Structure 1
Amino acid sequence: MRGLKVSLFDFFWFLLLLMSLIPMFKQQKIEVLRLKIIRDFETKRKSRLITMIHRQETFSFLGLPVSRYINIEDSEQILRAIRLTPDDMPIDLVLHTPGGLVLAAEQIAEALRKHPAKVTVFIPHYAMSGGTLIALAADEIVMDENAVAGPVDPQLGEYPAASILKVVEQKGPDKVEDRTLIMADIAKKALAQVENTVVELLSDKMDLEKAREVAKLLSQGTWTHDYPISAQQLKELGLPVSTDLPREIYELMDLYPQPQGRRPSVQYIPLPYGRNDLPK
């Protein structure tokens, strides 16, 4: 049998193939660890745990980072998970999202509201815009003490719907273009629709007058769309909020890493210790 000859060119292609497969194997390992934490958490709480975590993440062997937001695919998956959950089983939902499509967020929120058993939303860092809308459907919102939610006022393209109406009000209908008037008409409808949705989500947590007051505050452009609403502020609005976020949620978030291959902007030794633990 003649010896196998390996050229430098063959070795180069083998090395390239190996390097392209390593990220895929790492991702598979992370998936296994995620599923273990999810299963352990479900066993502990006798619930179904669903995660909707949107952050840049390296996946596939090409290692391309992709920014995520709430879309129709998310609503399809979460609605399917809810359908697979018995009526007497609680649902836990981990939210980490900048927001996204109003349609998708409203579908998820309505499905959670209709679930007969307790629904708990966990917010480890932030759940803005559509994420906040989903959180309002929960029986309990559990946040990190520094986590934030945000206003749910609708946006039309790059402009807040409330600001479009404000422009027409200040300048007068006869001093703006037809396109602006059309946008204002759409904005008025969008604001009314979102406000009604929030009232419906809150109506079983507080009296109707209070629900309308909170809905108006959150949906009618009181703040800028990226305004951070703290857990304390949500409590003051009458929402069922606590800051006892379970340790497992933090561990799960650690398994959704940012893309590798670039210098991190934040760096520290990832261990808990006090001053007495430091070398003299």
Structure 2
Amino acid sequence: MPTADPASLFWFLFLFATFVWPAWERQRIHLRRLWKIHELQRRRGTRVITLIHRQEALSLLGIPLARYINIEDSEQVLRAVRLTPGDMPIDLVLHTPGGLVLAAEQIAAALRRHPARVTVFVPHYAMSGGTLLALAADEIVMDEHAVLGPVDPQLGQFPAASILRAVSRKPVAEVDDETLILADVAEKAVRQVQDFVRELVADKLPPDRAETIVRDLTEGQWTHDYPITFEKLRSYGLPVRAGLPREVYELMELFPQPAGRRPSVQYVPVHDVEPRRRRHP
């Protein structure tokens, strides 16, 4: 009876672990995501769209890859909105650090124009461009510890508002032409984002409150990664409430961080803990 060649067995196991198993695992998780989305759609009677950016690992090399809102995201979300009947509500599950302003504004405009009700679910955070998407919704539903963030435009590595502030503190004669041009672009960027935010909140807030949130979010009052809490958003008068559906948390579990690293947080879910037996005397 022929025996297996150790070298052939090694290469078979290597190829299986490198290509076959990861591909099968990705497909399995993909199908579980689709089922969970279908479950949430069926229970709420809506079209569920996910925009979830987690750090992922490139295949084979395992190099971490951070993801942001880009043109491809806007194309896919716009397609999903376009294929949704006008009388069907939309639920957007949103988890993102932000991204390209153009892409975020395109998605926000499409959500705002959808005839039926639009709800944005924020389980953890939706920063920068993600905040624009949340403001476009009829209702923002958040975990009570989730946050949004400022939408002040960034020019390269500097906030536009900080460029304007720095230029205003020096005589024009002491500022070089390149910086003045940069300040001109920064002024335009701030004004453009302000106009868009004002448009998003105009039908949700009285004019005075709308202007307050426009200034707070766009003029560099906070750093770009400042967490705007549920309580702060509610104080503005925005349509925000706490209490995410169970399926949203379960869906987020299906977007794991890269494998192969020791987890820094571990716990045993309460429902998995076996109840202690009472000791009888």
Would the TM-score normalized by the shorter structure come out above 0.5?
A: yes
Identity of aligned residues (%): 59
CA offset at residue 74 of structure 1?
Answer: 0.5
Q: 1:23 corresponds to which residue?
A: 22
Q: For residue 160 of structure 2, what is the aligned residue in structure 1?
A: 161
2:95 corresponds to 1:96: yes
Per the alignment, in what secondary structure is the counterpart of residue 168 of structure 1?
A: helix
1:102-121 correspondence runs (5 A): 102-121=101-120
Note the C-alpha offset of 1:97.
0.5
- 2:257 aligns with 258
SS of structure 2 residue aligned to 1:95: strand
**Aligned partners of 1:260 and 1:273: how far apart in 2?**
23
The one-letter code matched in structure 2 to 1:221 is G
Aligned to 1:7: 5
* Maintained 8 Å contact 1:123/1:142: yes
Alignment correspondent of 2:176: 177
| Residues 207-246 of structure 1: pairs in structure 2 closer than 5 A | 207-246=206-245
Structure 2 Cα separation of the partners of residues 278 and 175 of structure 1: 78
Q: Is the contact made by 1:144 and 1:245 (CA closer than 8 Å) also made in structure 2?
A: yes
Instruction: Describe the shift of the 1:159–1:33 C-alpha distance in structure 2 as closer, same or farther (beyond 3 A).
Output: same
Question: Where does the alignment leave 5 or more consecutive residues of structure 2 unmatched?
Answer: none
2:80 — aligned with what?
81
8 A contact 1:23–1:59 mirrored in 2:
no
* SS state at 2:91 partner: strand
Ranges in structure 1 where 5+ consecutive residues have no aligned partner: none
Q: 1:84 to 1:60 in 2, by over 3 A?
A: farther
In the alignment, residue 203 of structure 1 is paired with which amino acid?
A: A
SS in 1 for 2:260: coil
Segment of structure 1 superposing worse, 208-217 or 7-16? 208-217
Q: Could you list the per-position Cα deviations for residues 207-245 of structure 1 after superposition, in whole angstroms to 9, with x for gaps in the alignment?
A: 333322211111111111111000110010110000011
The AA in structure 2 aligned to 1:40 is E
TM-score normalised by length of structure 2: 0.93
The aligned residue for residue 125 of structure 1 is: 124
2:149 is equivalent to residue 147 of structure 1: no
Deviates more, 1:15-24 or 1:53-62: 53-62
Give the Cα separation in 1 of the matches to 2:276 and 2:184.
63
Instruction: Provide the secondary structure at the position in 1 that maps to 2:98.
Output: coil
1:103-153 C-alpha deviation (Å, 9 max, x unpaired): 000000000000000000000000000000110000000000000000000
Per-residue deviation, 1:60: 4.2
Measure how far apart 1:276 and its partner are. 6.7
Deviation >3 Å, runs of 4+: 3-6, 58-65, 270-280
How many Å apart are 1:22 and its aligned residue?
1.1
Cα distance in structure 1, aligned partners of 2:111 and 2:95: 17
TM-score relative to the length of structure 1: 0.94
Contact residue 143 and residue 241 of structure 1 kept, 8 A: yes
Aligned residues of 1:23 and 1:61 also touching (Cα < 8 A): no
Report how many residues are paired.
278
